[in-house]
């Protein structure tokens, strides 16, 4: 068990995979819905080693959501800046000086200027840190920009969260983008594409030209990202509500 609750204290013991997120949601839900706590405290285990985007970015976004929408007090403190950023993500312009080392940080973005500055900083650091084949960084930059724009244009959430990492040993660039918005199905269900359910919307969203409104976007962001992952033999996970679209090793599955 990676995340558990004892009274009004939520204990986090690991942040190495997305299962932490599900357990965190359960812990918070039971704390404020069932036990009726109005304030929760997060305590990080001292044994936590790796901090991975697919765990910490959604948790940071969920904490922001529960504070903002549910008026729930969630506090905590860690002397490790990577853990403290889960509770207080980096923002612009407050943390503008941190853009020189934008990787391995959870960033909160709220407008187009934030998107431009953060994705530019991430790509510039990748360029300084390692050597990439022609076109790879341009593809990563375009994809990050498109998905961050999707959050602002379609999610109906006032903000989004992103974190990028470079794993030199395995030659992988990893990033997670999260929002606590209406979800892909709710965004598309009123469009001409009219997905039947959430799983259908997840399968549909990676196809070219799929968008809620052509006046807002052309629907090429998710498709472009998917094409980049395909070409690079990478891994893509798109989660909306309780379902996930998972593409790895050339195979696509829907997990519910």
Q: For residue 190, what pLDDT band results from cuts at 50, 70 and 90?
A: confident
Q: Tally Cβ neighbours within 10 Å of residue 51.
A: 20
CA angle, 245 then 251 then 254, to 5°? 25
Section 131-158 average pLDDT: 92
* 90 neighbors 105 (Cβ within 8 angstroms): yes
Residue 222, pLDDT > 80, answer yes
Q: For residue 228, what pLDDT band results from cuts at 50, 70 and 90?
A: confident
Residues in a beta bridge with 253: 246
Residues 6 or more apart whose CB falls under 8 angstroms from that of 115 comprise 109, 145, 148, 149, 152
* 167 neighbors 129 (Cβ within 8 angstroms): no
160-167 vs 73-76, strand pairing mode: unpaired
As a whole-number percent, the residues of the chain with pLDDT over 70 amount to 95
Residue 217, pLDDT > 70, answer no
DSSP 34: I
**pLDDT for the residue numbered 20:** 96
Section 160-179 average pLDDT: 95
**pLDDT for the residue numbered 191:** 75
80-134: per-residue pLDDT in tens? 999 999 999 999 999 999 999 999 999 999 999 999 999 999 999 999 999 998 8
**pLDDT for the residue numbered 221:** 74
| Least confident stretch, 49-58, 95-104, 148-157, 217-226 | 217-226
């Amino acid at each position: 068990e990676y995340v558990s609750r004892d009274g009004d204290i939520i204990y986090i013991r690991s942040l190495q995979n997305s299962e932490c997120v599900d357990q965190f949601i359960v812990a918070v839900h039971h704390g404020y819905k069932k036990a009726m706590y109005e304030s929760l405290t997060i305590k990080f285990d001292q044994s936590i080693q790796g901090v991975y985007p697919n765990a910490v970015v959604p948790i940071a976004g969920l904490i922001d959501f529960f504070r903002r929408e549910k008026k729930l007090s969630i506090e905590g403190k860690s002397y490790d800046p990577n853990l403290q950023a889960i509770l207080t993500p980096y923002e612009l312009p407050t943390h503008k000086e941190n853009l020189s080392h934008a990787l391995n940080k959870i960033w909160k973005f709220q407008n187009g200027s934030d998107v431009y500055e953060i994705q530019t900083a991430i790509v510039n650091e990748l360029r300084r840190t390692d050597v990439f084949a022609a076109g790879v960084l341009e593809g990563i930059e375009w994809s990050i920009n498109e998905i961050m724009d999707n959050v602002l244009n379609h999610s109906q959430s006032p903000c989004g969260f992103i974190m990028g990492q470079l794993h030199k040993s395995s030659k992988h660039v990893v990033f997670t983008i999260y929002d606590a918005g209406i979800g892909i199905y709710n965004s598309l269900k009123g469009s001409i594409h009219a997905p039947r359910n959430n799983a259908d919307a997840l399968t549909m969203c990676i196809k070219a030209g799929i968008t809620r409104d052509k006046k807002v976007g052309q629907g090429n962001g998710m498709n472009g990202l998917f094409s980049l992952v395909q070409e690079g033999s990478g891994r893509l996970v798109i989660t909306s509500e309780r379902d996930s679209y998972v593409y790895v090793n050339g195979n696509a599955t829907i997990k519910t």
